[in-house]
Structure formats: C-alpha cells, structure tokens
C-alpha cells in the first residue's frame, strides 16, 4: 500500500501489533500513528476517509488480538487522556484516559460511583465501546454525555441514550462512531469509605485473576444471560469442562481463572481461535450452551 501521509501525523509503517495488545498477539499494521490530541485525530480520520484508507482506533489494547497477517490499514493509538473534575461532581475524561487514572481522580476528589472500575484495565474509549463493568455496575450507569466522531467525520455531542447500552455492548460496535471524550455523573462521598471499597475490589481481583504482568486479554467469553437477564459466569461452565488443563501451542487457560486465556510466549491468533473452538464445543456438548467471545478479534 503506497500512501503518503502528512508528516504531522507521524505515521510509521509495518508496525508489530503484538506490541500494542495486552495478550501480545498480532501481525503487523500496514500503518500506525500514536495520536496525542483530539484535533489531530479528527484530521487524521478525515484524511483516511478522503483517501479511502481503513482506519482502526485502539486504546490500551487490553481485550483485542489480531491475525498473523496483521491489519491492512492504519491503526490509530489514542493517547489524548485529559481528565477534568467539574463543580457539579461530574467528570470529563478523554478517550485515551485509562480507567485506573479516572478511578484515582474519583478517589482523590472523594467522588463515589466509579469504584466498580477498580483494577479494570484499558481506556475510557474502550470501556464505553464495550460497556465495561464489574460487580453489578457498568460505565453505562454513570455516563451522562459524550463527544463522538461520526463515521462521516463529523463531531457530535450525544447523551447516554444514544449508545443503546446492553451487556458488554454499545451502539459504537454497530455504527462505527468513535468516542472522543465522555462525561460521567458521580456523587460526593466519604473518602475513607471510597478508598475502602476500592481496596476491597482490588484485593478480590488479585485473588482470582492472573498477575498484571501476565499477557492476557481479560475474560475471553461473555458471561451467560438467562431469559430474565440474570448472569452466570462463563467460568462456571469452563471449570466444569477442565478448561484449565487445556492449551493450544502457547495459548493456554490460566490456572487462576477458567475464562482467561494467556500467551505463554509465542501464541498466535490461530492458537487462540483453536483453543476457543475446543472449549466452546465442550461447553455446548455438556450444557447445551453456546459461549460467545468477549475479546475482540480484528481481521
């Protein structure tokens, strides 16, 4: 692909995507640019639109992997990450802000309502895209407004109902719009109580999840929802089919959690997909349940 990008975008060619995913799996991106401010990103998006270049945005890369063939287009790594606290106890965060940074700001300002995010990796943009959550709450519960970039390159201000949030899903997965920044409504609380809850959640996560330096993409399959919307952890079914004893190549299920795949060193997308199929079939055969992937595989 012979394309001349404006120098201001600092586009690099043939960049290993394994360096930008937490599970360290993926071939090369034809082009990659790390973008530090919203205006530059909007300009880059509009340039790609005009030149008919496929563009993918990526934040922390914590729940995604790519094929060995890589990505035939431009991957934009979102780095703009400002966080602003307002007088009405709302907080605005740019898409590239990490959830951990936003969580710390809430604690520092004694704002409650975001404790559930403690220990969840990734960025605000990715969290809203996939309606991230834990312990009975999701980002959709406190999001009140956002600024997005439409698929036609127009900036638009929207409210919560625009996103049509559901379990681990939002309208962004369907319409191709991209989050630029989000506003969350929180409430004043007691700092000591907020810190205590955050510490409790972090302790729970440390107990049941792999250490932070293990190359994983988080929970691989979505939890199971019954007809009443009640959830059963996918790990319950995966434990019952001996997932922790299963591996394909260097892709394996971690011993601490039946629903977390990890890279033992040189895992490929093919390894992960084969491991996925094996476990899906076991669960289907034993329980009649079809597991659905939560981690995103981008071809």
Catalytic residue numbers read: 168, 219, 294
Please count the other Cβ atoms lying within 10 Å of the Cβ belonging to residue 144: 12
Task: Write a three-state SS string for the chain.
Answer: CCCCCCHHHCCEEEEEHHHHCCCCCCCEEEEEEEECCHHHHHHHHHHHHHHCCCEEEECCCCCEECCCCCEEEEEEEECCCCEEECCCCEEEEECCCEHHHHHHHHHHCCEECCHHHCCCCCEHHHHHHCCCEECCEEHHHCEEEEEEECCCCCEEEEEHHHHCCECCECCHHHHCCEEEEEEEECEECCHHHHHHHHHHHHHHHHHHCCCCCCCEEEECECCEECCCCCEECHHHHHHHCCHHHCEECCEEECCCCCCEEEECCCCCHHHHHHHHHHHHHHHHHHHCCCCCECCEECC
Nearest to 67 by CA among 293, 271, 250, 269: 269
Q: Give the whole-angstrom CA distance, residue 80 versus residue 129.
A: 16
Q: Give the whole-angstrom CA distance, residue 47 versus residue 170.
A: 26
Q: What are the beta bridge partners of residue 90?
A: 185
């Amino acid at each position: 692909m012979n394309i001349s990008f404006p120098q201001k975008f600092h586009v690099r060619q043939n960049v290993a995507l394994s360096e930008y995913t937490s599970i360290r799996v993926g071939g090369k991106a034809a082009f990659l640019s790390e973008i530090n401010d919203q205006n530059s990103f909007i300009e880059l998006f509009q340039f790609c639109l005009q030149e008919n270049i496929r563009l993918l945005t990526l934040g922390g890369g914590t729940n995604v992997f790519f094929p060995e063939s890589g990505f035939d287009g431009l991957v934009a790594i979102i780095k703009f990450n400002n966080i602003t606290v307002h007088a009405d106890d709302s907080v605005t965060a740019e898409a590239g802000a990490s959830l951990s940074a936003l969580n710390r700001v809430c604690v520092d300002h004694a704002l409650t309502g975001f404790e559930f995010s403690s220990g969840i990796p990734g960025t605000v943009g990715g969290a809203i895209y996939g309606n991230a959550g834990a312990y009975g709450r999701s980002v959709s519960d406190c999001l009140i407004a956002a600024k997005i970039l439409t698929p036609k390159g127009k900036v638009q201000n929207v409210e919560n109902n625009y996103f049509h949030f559901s379990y681990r899903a939002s309208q962004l997965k369907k319409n191709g719009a991209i989050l630029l920044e989000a506003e969350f409504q929180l409430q004043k609380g007691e700092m000591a109580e907020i810190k205590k809850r955050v510490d409790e959640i972090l302790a729970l996560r440390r107990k049941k999840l792999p250490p932070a330096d293990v190359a994983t993409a988080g929970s691989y399959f979505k939890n199971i929802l019954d007809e009443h919307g009640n959830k059963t952890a996918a790990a319950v079914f995966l434990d019952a089919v001996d997932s922790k004893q299963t591996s394909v190549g260097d892709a394996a299920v971690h011993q601490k959690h039946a629903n977390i795949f990890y890279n033992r060193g040189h895992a490929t997308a093919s390894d992960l997909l084969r491991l996925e199929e094996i476990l899906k079939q076991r669960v289907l055969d034993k329980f009649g349940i079809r597991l659905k992937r939560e981690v995103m595989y981008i071809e």
